[in-house]
Structure 1
């Protein structure tokens, strides 16, 4: 009977300790979604989480009761076992041995292992044990309420602070963890919900800088301020763009842009229809760039490098695409970037891919740096020049063969990971 009571107390203590840590560690978004399900468990979860502090205090009370009973019976059992086995110690030594052995058994079986296990599988276990947890919650509810009122009184009276408050929000980290779980659970052949992708983009949005989404200088289509209207019209026809950048002397002196709609005003010169642009540094976050553009009612900004030269241009469309994904119109060229694994450890990539994207997607470890962002930039940063088609370059454990390149940039590379 004593051994049964001791084992039962250890199980209950492990349960109370585990549910306490599971409740604290569980993803609040996951719990909210589970609570919206129309079933018995979801209703139980709703009742459990109505008053989080009451639930935690109830678990602490249950754990304390189990430990007191465990300590009483465990001490008595150890004392009788010592006498039966012929071991005789002083009263102080007997007490010390009882404390040490009881503590080690309790720590291993009812505290350490359960808390680790319940923390790892917090979301699943809090749902699985919701019903028994609710029974104990109701059993100790009134005792917990009394302790909470006493603690609130002490906090307000002596420490001049507010009493217990319920946290009605979840953190950005919890949202990110939940979305990551959803993304990882989707098979490659399945399509991820657009809402999940949008949330993921929104979480990453605050950390994206202008240089990450801008159109680089080499891809800017521009017209000189003193070019003729006919030349401007022809450029609009050839590119299909609705906006074209206007510069004076060079791309480092951009004065604005023109919209194709303004050609209906029959201007006599490009200068008459130039719309001013904003200038932003490469390191500005796109959320700040978007605020700047919307306040100034502009749709185009010139991105400047550290020397004040033109690094690229960024538009509101570029920024919005970071949230909602690629937005294609009838004038988009439809050019697709190449990314494929042709063999084990052998890849073919467009040089425009971000190094961070390739590392995350293909579990690579290509070094990342502030002086470059793309795979092409990584290679050029190492070679200090634009490689030619057919060149072979080895950077650490990565061997590159330049498949396509121009005199201005690398287009396509074949990358082999060397053992």
Structure 2
């Protein structure tokens, strides 16, 4: 054959190898989520791609048969076509026993470079740009190619499966999407500008509802405002004025003897109508939803949805009331720093870029967000910053007791009746690996 004919055949071989390389990367890299969306919109080719991904052994065997056959054939033709011309070229500079060897090396290098560039590198890079679009476009011709190569592919797959079983290699692909996968997608979306900062923040907090327990967002026992059955009218009026909440617990004699709750609007309507009430009665007291403190916020949302309630009292394993929680508390957890309840004081006050005043009752998750801490040690053993200090110190903390962890110094500032009211948290330049305790 003439040089022109050889070049035409080599170009055809390179194009064929490039098509197989393009297809291989596109089908392997096409994301199932996008393909399912295309399939649900009526694109039959997307469903074919999904089916091929589920049974990909035949395709990869056929692809390798084609790629290797083309590469070998291209090398044989290329070496035979270009070597005589390289011999002639080299003869102008050198004549000797190494002429044939040098010519062979140059022709081999030329053909290999052409295949690497046009049949491997460029097609694969193109396939990575839009794998789903390309996979859908090439699925029909590639299925014909798989059918042609199926007899030989079956033999190769049988040998490969035998070897996999012999060496106990698991070939089942795990396509389960984890939170880490979703988080990575969200981070990429935020960096690309697809997600705004607040949207990214909200989505992260929504996923945390599955991890955070009710005590991390509830109003704690000591801060619960409640009425008793024999509460005087003047006392009720004073509490309504001083603590303008929408709902109040009603108890018998103390907070652990919960009877129900009252809606502030029911009492206010009677006050506005100049109606007297000597004590709370069945017409105003409603049944309260009671939940254990072991529930997650996600489980509590399900309870609120099923019962149509928006208010719940939280009890522990000893049937003692540990706090109350509302649907608004959960929404505040999701909104995070973007909303601050009007009836609560700030729990985290930033003094400067490297120090914060934080209340001891601050939930650990809120503190981690504010200080950008990924993990706290043994965080299954406490819910608040005060709990973290007590767990680390193994005693009732006193002012000036300090714990150093994760590049931060946690120092107790104020203690009231064994309760940690406030801590000073300072960012350190050096980050010790293990928690360090400094007792006053």
Q: What's the TM-score bracket when you normalise by the shorter of the two chains? A: 0.5 to 0.7
Q: Which runs of 5+ in 1 are unaligned?
A: 36-42, 79-83, 86-104, 152-168
Which position in structure 2 is the counterpart of 1:394?
403
**TM-score normalized by the length of structure 2:** 0.61
Q: Which moved more, 1:231-240 or 1:277-286?
A: 277-286
Q: Who is 2:384 aligned against?
A: 374
Q: Is 1:28 paired with 2:25?
A: no
| Number of the residue aligned with 2:141 | 139
Please state whether the residue corresponding to 1:394 is helix, strand or coil: strand
Once the two structures are TM-superposed, the CA of residue 308 in structure 1 deviates from its matched residue by: 2.1
* 1:104-128 CA-partner distances (Å, limit 9, x unpaired): x9xxx99xx99xxx8xx9xx96434
* Equivalent position SS for 1:409: strand
User: Distance in 2 between the 1:316 and 1:384 partners?
Assistant: 35
Say whether 1:406 aligns with 2:416: yes
1: CA distance between counterparts of 2:16 and 2:254?
A: 81
Structure 2 CA distance for aligned equivalents of residues 125 and 267 of structure 1 = 77
Partner residue in 2 for 1:93:
none
Q: How far off its partner does 1:206 sit?
A: 3.6
Cα distance, 1:257 vs structure 2? 1.9
Q: Secondary structure at the match of 1:280?
A: strand
Q: 1:268 to 1:237 in 2, by over 3 A?
A: same
Residue 289 of structure 1: aligned partner: 300
1:270 is aligned to 280
Q: Provide the residue aligned with 1:335 in structure 2.
A: 345
Asked if the contact 2:49/2:136 (under 8 Å) is kept, the reply is: no
Listed as ranges, the gaps of 5+ residues in structure 2 are: 1-5, 80-96, 99-111, 155-174, 271-275, 433-440
Q: Return the offset for 1:235.
A: 0.1
After superposition, the Cα gap between the structure-2 partners of 1:384 and 1:293, relative to the gap in structure 1 and judged at 3 Å, is same
Provide Cα deviations, 1:350-406, integer angstroms capped at 9, x if missing partner: 444443454466245431422212222201233355545x42313556532224453
User: Which residue is equivalent to 2:314?
Assistant: 303
Separation in 1, partners of 2:149, 2:365: 51
Q: Give the deviation of 1:142 after TM superposition.
A: 4.3
SS for the counterpart of 1:140 is helix
Deviation at 1:305, TM superposition (A): 1.8
Distance in structure 2 (CA, Å) of the matches to 1:338 and 1:65? 64
Residue number in structure 1 paired with 2:393: 383
The alpha-carbon deviation at position 68 of structure 1 amounts to: 3.0
Measured after TM superposition, the shift of residue 231 of structure 1 is 0.5
- Taking the aligned partners of 1:298 and 1:131, their CA distance within structure 2 comes to 48
Shifted more, 277-286 versus 318-327: the winner is 318-327
Tell whether the 8 Å contact from 1:386 to 1:410 is kept in structure 2 after alignment. no
Give 1:27 deviation, angstroms. Answer: 7.0
- SS of the equivalent of 2:403 reads strand
Partner of 1:413, secondary structure, is strand
Aligned partners of 1:226 and 1:271 also within 8 Å: no
TM alignment of 1:149-228, pairs within 5 A: 173=179, 175-185=182-192, 192=197, 194=199, 197-228=201-232
Contact 1:351 1:413 in 2 (8 A): no
Cα shift at 1:271: 4.2
Indicate the RMSD between aligned Cα atoms, in angstroms.
4.8
| CA-CA distance at 1:337 after TM superposition | 3.2
Specify the SS of the correspondent of 1:251. coil
Q: How many residues get paired? A: 346
Q: 1:239 aligns with which of 228, 239, 243?
A: 243
Q: Shift in Å at residue 176 of structure 1?
A: 4.6
Note if contact 2:23-2:138 (Cα within 8 Å) is conserved in structure 1.
no
8 Å contact kept, 1:54–1:144: no
Seen in structure 2, the aligned counterparts of structure 1 residues 130 and 53 have a Cα distance that, compared at 3 Å, is closer
Structure number with bigger Rg: 2
User: Cα distance, 1:410 vs. partner?
Assistant: 2.5
Query: What's the counterpart of residue 259 of structure 2?
Result: 255
Q: What is the distance in 1 between the residues matched to 2:413 and 2:14? A: 69
> Which residue is 2:158 aligned to?
none
How far did 1:311 drift? 1.6
Contact kept, 8 Å, 1:246 with 1:274, in 2: the verdict is yes
